[in-house]
Amino acid sequence: MLSVTFEDDNSQVIDFRPVLRGELYGPLRDNSFFDQVRVDPEVHTLVWPNGADFDPAMLYHWSELGSQLEALAESWPTTVEQATNTL
């Protein structure tokens, strides 16, 4: 979970665990890797060393949209092999 405060003082406490699947977001399940999060100064969103990021609007509206992203994440391949088989 991560607490995010936006420029307008809106805050979200985001539980990313349900969407940490697939080749890009799966590595974030490792706490030491997840803790490497930073705010990108150009696009003003959370980013991780492997290129994983989330749209700032998604983060801002997480309480309304997070469940939709969770449903989508269920269809993401969990391994490189599964991703290759779907192409």
Give 13-67 pLDDT, tens digit per residue: 999 999 999 899 999 999 999 999 999 999 899 999 999 999 999 999 998 888 8
pLDDT given for residue 74 in this prediction: 86
The pTM of this model reads 0.78
| Beta strand 46-47 pairing with 38-39 | antiparallel
